[in-house]
């Protein structure tokens, strides 16, 4: 997978939207909010969408449509496929039409939508590099009513692993931890039951894959970063994070670098909820 198939610049999207077969555009604005996990009001993506979005974009609710309710599978388990498929079709997603997803600029939520669509078989999905902040065109408050799409999710087109698969990758391949380094070390843990990391996992904060403007670093620079972490030719690469959202962003960064990787969707929120699973702390993988 090349960089141009994973991300798209705002100028290129503006051109594509004026073409004969414009892409479906999905607005997936969302932010991880510790307050929200405590049952208090958090970031309201739908309100942000209502205040202005890319013309023709359809809002997608990450918590309701790109994840199942929190539980044994983690804080953002994989969504029910019927729910996800219905949401995508209602947004106008079809198998033969390009899709572009964007968020407020962090890229995590857009990457979650990108990964889910790729994992369930959509052949052409890209993330707007830099998110809404990278869009130089007009924004709209009009809510579109798209023609229903025909996309039917068929999981397995790209890779996902469960907890056992992630543990195996940490031993036989390269398992990257996309969270902040202090959470990896176990210095702090603001959300999950315990801090630390999966034994054998390598710290690789996804925030280091982008510049100050939220855009991804050049593909060659990203490839060099991942090689320095152990992503050698022939090495199977996997990623996890807190709940499978920022980890998708790292899988996207790896795609920009030309490296295929699998995601552990349950991630640390699932792993750490099981007291029988080992936890490593400190800066070293083991």
pLDDT at 252: 98
Looking at the fold, whether 129 and 12 belong to one and the same domain comes out as yes
In the predicted model, what is the mean pLDDT of residues 247-275?
Answer: 97
Residue 71, domain CATH: 3.40.250.10
pLDDT at 35: 44
Residues 6+ apart with CB under 8 A from 124: 5, 97, 98, 99
pLDDT at 273: 94
Model confidence band, residue 31 (pLDDT cutoffs 50, 70, 90): confident
Long-range contacts for 18-21 (Cβ within 8 Å, ≥24 apart)?
21/97, 21/98
Whether 3 shows a pLDDT value over 50: the answer reads no
pLDDT at 102: 98
Which residues form the domain of 79?
3-134
pLDDT at 191: 87
| 144 occurs within a structural domain | no
Whether 63 shows a pLDDT value over 80: the answer reads yes
Looking at the fold, whether 15 and 115 belong to one and the same domain comes out as yes
Residue 206 CA, chain-centre distance (Å), reads 10
Q: What is the pLDDT of residues 175-203, one digit of tens each?
A: 999 999 999 999 999 888 899 999 999 99
Residues 6+ apart with CB under 8 A from 202: 174, 175, 176, 177, 229, 230, 285
Domain total of the chain = 2
Annotated catalytic residue within 66, 241, 251, 261:
241
Nearest Cα to Cα of residue 262 among 128, 157, 125 = 157
| 189 occurs within a structural domain | yes
Catalytic (active site) residue 109 = no
Angle between helical axes of 219-228 and 246-256 (0-180°, round to 10) = 110
Whether 225 shows a pLDDT value over 60: the answer reads yes
Q: Which one is predicted more confidently, 93 or 42?
A: 93
Whether 26 shows a pLDDT value over 80: the answer reads yes
pLDDT at 1: 37
| 218 occurs within a structural domain | yes
In the predicted model, what is the mean pLDDT of residues 136-149?
Answer: 95
| 170 occurs within a structural domain | yes
In the predicted model, what is the mean pLDDT of residues 123-134?
Answer: 96
| 281 occurs within a structural domain | no
Residue indicated by tokens 């090689």: 227
pLDDT at 68: 94
Alpha-carbon gap, residue 17 to 47, rounded angstroms: 24
**pTM score:** 0.94
| 51 occurs within a structural domain | yes
CB atoms within 10 A of CB 104: 20
What value does the mean pLDDT of the chain take?
A: 93
Tokens of 247: 């980890």
Torsion angle defined by CA atoms of residues 208, 76, 116 and 30, in that order, rounded to the nearest 10 degrees = -60
pLDDT at 4: 44
Q: Mark which of 94, 116, 134 sits at the end of a domain.
A: 134
Per-position DSSP letters for 176-242, written without gaps between them: EE-S-HHHHHTS--SSSSS--B-TT-EE--GGGGB-TTSPBPPHHHHHHHHHHTT--TT--EEEE-S
CB atoms within 10 A of CB 26: 28
pLDDT at 32: 74
Whether 280 shows a pLDDT value over 80: the answer reads yes
């Amino acid at each position: 997978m090349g960089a141009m198939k994973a991300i798209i610049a705002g100028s290129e999207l503006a051109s594509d939207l004026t073409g004969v077969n414009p892409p479906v555009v999905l607005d997936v604005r969302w932010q991880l909010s510790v307050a929200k996990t405590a049952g208090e009001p958090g970031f309201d993506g739908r309100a942000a969408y209502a205040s202005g979005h890319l013309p023709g974009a359809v809002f997608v609710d990450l918590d309701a449509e790109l994840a199942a309710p929190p539980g044994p599978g983690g804080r953002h388990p994989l969504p029910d496929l019927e729910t996800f498929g219905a949401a995508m079709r209602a947004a106008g997603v079809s198998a033969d039409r390009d899709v572009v997803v964007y968020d407020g600029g962090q890229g995590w939520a857009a990457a979650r939508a990108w990964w889910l669509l790729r994992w369930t078989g959509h052949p052409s999905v890209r993330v707007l590099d830099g998110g809404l902040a990278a869009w130089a065109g007009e924004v709209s408050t009009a809510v579109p009513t798209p023609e229903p799409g025909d996309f039917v999710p068929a999981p397995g087109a790209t890779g996902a692993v469960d907890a056992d698969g992630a543990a195996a990758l940490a031993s036989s391949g390269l398992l990257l931890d996309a969270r902040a380094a202090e959470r990896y070390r176990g210095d702090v843990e603001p959300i999950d039951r315990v801090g630390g990391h999966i034994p054998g996992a390598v710290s690789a904060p996804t925030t280091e894959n982008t510049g100050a403007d939220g855009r991804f670093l050049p593909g060659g620079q990203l490839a060099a970063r991942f090689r320095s972490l152990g992503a050698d030719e022939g090495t199977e690469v996997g990623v996890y994070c807190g709940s499978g959202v920022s980890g998708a962003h790292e899988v996207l960064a790896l795609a920009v670098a030309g490296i295929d990787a699998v995601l552990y969707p349950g991630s640390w929120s699932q792993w750490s909820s099981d007291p029988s699973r080992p936890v490593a702390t400190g800066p070293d993988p083991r």
